[in-house]
Structures are given as structure tokens and as C-alpha cells.
Structure 1
Amino acid sequence: MQLWLSSHLPRKGAFVENQGNFSWPERMTALTEKDISWYSREFDGTEVILRCGGFPNVPLMGPRGCINYNPVLSLRQLGYPMNDKPEDRQLECFILKEGDKDPALIKRIQKAWGQVYKKKMEKKNCVAKPPYTQWVKERVKVIKLRFPVVTCDRPPSPPPITTIPIEEAVKMESKIVELQGKNEEWEAKYLQVEGELARLKRDQKQKEESLQIGKKRLRESEKKQEKIGDGLLSATDNLKAYKEEIKGLEHSYGEVERFWKFAIEAKKKWRLAHEEQVLKTQEVKKRLHLEGHRVREFENLYLQEKAKREHLQNSIQSLLDQHVEAHVNQIALLKEELEVVNTRFTQRGKVLDFV
């Protein structure tokens, strides 16, 4: 009994220090409900015997007799809440003293221990609710204490041990989870805003860099446009040189003369297209500051035509170095290429009209 009682008393603070040298009854009466160590974690995971057989409680047998034990009064010490006052039948008591003979009761007790009803320890929630507390107060009035209650020199109580009902704990856990979810949601929104701000800054920087690059390309395009005009004049001089070379071939090769006539007509068409191109190029220069991005298309088209012209020049030069029969075949190929060039220039005229 002493070990059981001391295991529930405070183990530090004013109760243990006892600076006022109070007696045990005085120290005990100074304790409150919150000062008692109701539950020990050593009971975690254990099973509690609630009753045996037909008994509403637990009968105990010893070498000197029998007595019953009422678990309903100790549930708080085993980790269960005290919700309401216990039923009267759960508090029925009997004592079989040494020397008393009651074979029927002893046999009933022995049989009851073959039907033990247990309950596994749940989550710790050793609290007492108002209905049970009120029942305890009324029971104390009936039983009364064996010593006077001293309140004048009551020692200070140790810090209270806060206990929370399981229902409130569940609600608080749900609220904590909800708040944590909202906190994570706001953190996600904050990170999203941070990312959006960083993206806007990055886009703004890219736009500024693109603007600088665009200005630089516009200046380069204006310079290239001037060079294009010079290139067109140079192309005209090259065509004149080709004409002289073709005239020399007419004296050497009879078949080349027929091809040359066709080439002259194609050259006239090309010259007309070239003159038209020069005029339209001048118009493009005037509107270059408004349609600078179209210069690249014109430049690509010019490079394509220039490549075609160089290819044609190489073909004519190779014809001059080959045999007469090989020149006849090359002349037919050059005719097809000149037709392609004529078609290209026609398309180019359409593109310039579109520009």
C-alpha cells in the first residue's frame, strides 16, 4: 500500500522539499487533483483485467481468504478517462476472512478466473470529467477523513500537470493539421509569387537584351543593304564579262552559237529584272527603318540567287575546258538552269512587289 501510494505522489517541488516541516496528513491534504501522478508510462501496451466471469469486478484469492478488487476505481491510473460515476454493482464488495467457509463462493471464484475479460491499453488520456469528480466529492462526504484538514499553513502546490481530454486532443490535432496545411498552402503561394517575380525579371532582362540585339542587327542590315547595291553592280560587270566569253565560244563552237542566242535573250530578261530590282531596292532602303526584319528575307533570297549565279558561272567555265561534244551536253544543262534562273527572277520580282 505504501509503494502504491508513493508512486502517485509528487517526486519534486514543495511537497518533497517540505520546508515547513508539515506532517504527512498536512502534506497530503495540500495536494490537488493536478498534483497527483495518475498514470505511468510503464503501463503502455499492457492489458487491463476489467472483470472475471459473472463478477462485476475482480475477485482475489489468497492463503488467508478472499477479497475483491474494483478496476473501475483505478482506470485513471491505468490510462483511461473517468467519464462518469461508476455503477453501484461495479462497487459491490465481499470479504472472505480466514476460517470462514463458503465452498460455493470459492468454487465460483475459481470458475470466474477461467473467464477473464481484458481491455488493451489505449492512448493515454487519464482525465476526470465533472460527473465523476462530483461523485468523488459526495463519496468523501459520506466516508469522511480520519484527520482534520489543515488549510492555513498549506504548502505551495507543485506545478500542475496539464491533461487534456481525448476529444479535445483530437480536435486540436485536427486544427494543427489544418493550420499546417494552410501554412504549406501559403508557403507554396509565396514560392509561386517569388518564382513569378523572378520569371518577370528574367523576361524583362531578355527583352532588353533582344532589343539591343535588334538595334545592332538593324544597323548591320543597313550596312549590308548598302553592300547589296554594290554587289548588284558587280554582278552586272560579271555578266558583261560572261558575254565576251560566250562570244569567243561562238567563234569556236557552232553548237554553242545557238545556245548563246538563247542566253542573250535570257540575259536581257535578267537585265530588265535587275534594273527593276535596283529600283525596288532603293524603295526598300527608304522603308528599311519600318521593315528592318524583312531585310533578312531579302538577304537570304539574294544569297540564294548569288549561289545560283556562281553555280552557273562555274558550269560555263567548265564547259570552256571540255571537248565540243561535252559542251553540247553542258549547253543543254545551262539552258535548263537559265530557265530556272528566269523563274527565280520572276519569283523574286513577285517577292519585291510584296515587300
Structure 2
Amino acid sequence: MNLRKKITVSALVLSMTASSLSVLPAAVTSPVSGFVGPKSVYAAPADSFIQPLLVQLNALHAALLAGDPADVQDVRKLRSEIAALDPASNLALTDPVWSKIAAKLPPSFDKEALRLKVFELFKAIFTLQYDPQASDLLAIYSDPGYRAALHTIAVAGGDSNITFGDLFIFLFEVQETTRELVGGLSQGQLLQLAASREKRNELALEGLNIVLEKDESFSAILNNLGITAQDIRSTVLNFQLKLKTYRPASGAIAVAALRLSAKETVKITGGGRIHHYGLTVRGVTVPSFALTWSKVSGSADVSVSPNGKVSIPNGVPSASAVIQAKLTNPFGGNDKVIFEEEVTLTAEKGGPKK
């Protein structure tokens, strides 16, 4: 594997680690204060999940807006395309899931009205991570038509007490489980995952199956309706394949998730005059060869090398600069800024001069 391909594959693996492979917004698994974590999520009241999720969505879009304006435009284009999906010609996109729901409804029930609402609900959920104001989440949660549709589906699945909080918890569990599966792969498996859509589908199905087997709350309803992991994945793929702007927009969101999750590491040498910077994403070290460091602004005394070495010369007691790191774009196009911060280097008193 040549260096360029190796860099691209590493970047793609990192983006999958940050954003995972499900339909839930990437930011829900990023460390923002107040979030209900994976170990306690099922212990928390379902509705308490909504406000922290709003915080996560807003954090994700702040990270998106802090990046490339072209990425923001890609996301806007996808939102417009999703909104323009005509149910008259696209209802079949939800058939893998809808057919299982319809089979459990009473013969006298107005199935077409519910089918239309299920289609609109899928559109709304699919739009969630591309909503800069998180208004779509609030609309889903408060819309009486969506609530009635969910209640009907829940009753058909044997539990009339399900809320949208339970649905979002289910989506979170799929996201977190898939991310953990990615984190447990060997380097060779990660390379296969990055190179193969089939492998990514297999991993997504595995994550869905693990959550469905827990048979808790929303999973139990899906199981009672006969909705399988393959049904859910097929429906999601139907939307992804239909939407021409999905690939660039999902890439933009993945880069934003990387920007939100990236944390710097620093090794200080030379008596405080030399800092060696690196990055981690959700505990995964970003390969140094996939990053290019530079100085954005600041003191002329601060030198920044592409490999992350930041230094000040002898005779300068302290200096500051804004540095940034760009990651090779795994989705094609320009490299993407995933980290930017002001740093200060201060020479230790009596420390070594070199």
C-alpha cells in the first residue's frame, strides 16, 4: 500500500470511529457535559435523553460551521433534497420496515395514512444530524401526528407506553455498539472495513442485531413486529442510495465529528521550548503521517513544523501562536482542519537551552 492510500485509509477509519455507521447524529457519543452515557442510558428516564441530545446536535453543528464552508453547503443541499422527497413516488423506500408494521395492524385500520406518516418520520430522523438548529428533533418530539403514529406502532408491537425518548435511546445504543465494534477491530480488519461497503454493512448489521437481542423497550417492540436488523439497514440504505447529495454531506458531518472529538497530546522537551503535538479521536491515536500541522497566527518567534513540532528559539522566554492540524480528507477533495488552538511555549527557568 502506497503512502497516499495508507493516509487515506487511516483517515477513513478515524472518521468511522468518530461518527460510527448508524443514522444517529455523530455527536451523541462525543464528550459534552450533561450527556447520559452508555452505561446509564437505560437507567435514565427516556424523556431525559432529549435535552442532552439537543446539546450534542448543537455541538456537532458548531464544529461543522467552524470548518470548510463547502461542507456546510453540502449539508444544506442534502437537507433540501430530503425535504423534496415526494411520498407519491418514494413510499417504497420504507417497505422493508413498513411491510412488517402493516402485517400487525387491524384490517380496518387506515394503513395508507400511517404509511405516509412512517415515511415522513423516516425523513425527519434521517435529517436529524444535518439540522443546524436541532429544530427537527424538537419537531419530531412534539408533533402530535408523529406521536400518534409511534403510539399505533407501539401498540401493534405490544407496548403502549413507548415514547420518542425510547426510540432515541435505541438509536444511541446502535451508535455506541457499532462504535465499540469498530474500536475492537484489528488493523487488518479496519483496512478491510475502510475499503469495503459490504464489510461496513456487515458491521452495521452486527451492531443492530446486538441491540435487538437485548429485547429492551424499543427493541422489544421491533422484535414483536418481526422487524429485523436487515429490514432497518435496508431501509436506511434505500434512503442513502436515493439521495444524490448523501455522500458529500455525510462526509462533511464525519469531518465535523472528528473536529468535535479530536484532542491534542503534547510532549514537552528542550526545557519547555519544544512541544511535539499529536491528536487522538475517541482514544484512537491519529497517525502522524495523516496530519499536517501549521501556524495560523501569532508570534513570529513560534515555528511550526508539518509533523507537529512547535518551538521557540533560545533567548525568547515565552511566545504564543494559534496552530492547526489538517487531516487528509478520506472523502476526496481538500484536506480538512480538525484541530485549531492557541498554544503558549514558556522556557523553564534554569532549563536546558536546546
Interval containing the TM-score (normalised by the shorter chain): under 0.3
User: Which structure carries more helix by proportion?
Assistant: 1
Q: Which has the higher contact order (CA 8 A, sep 6+)?
A: 2
TM-score (norm 2): 0.22
User: Which structure carries more strand by proportion?
Assistant: 2
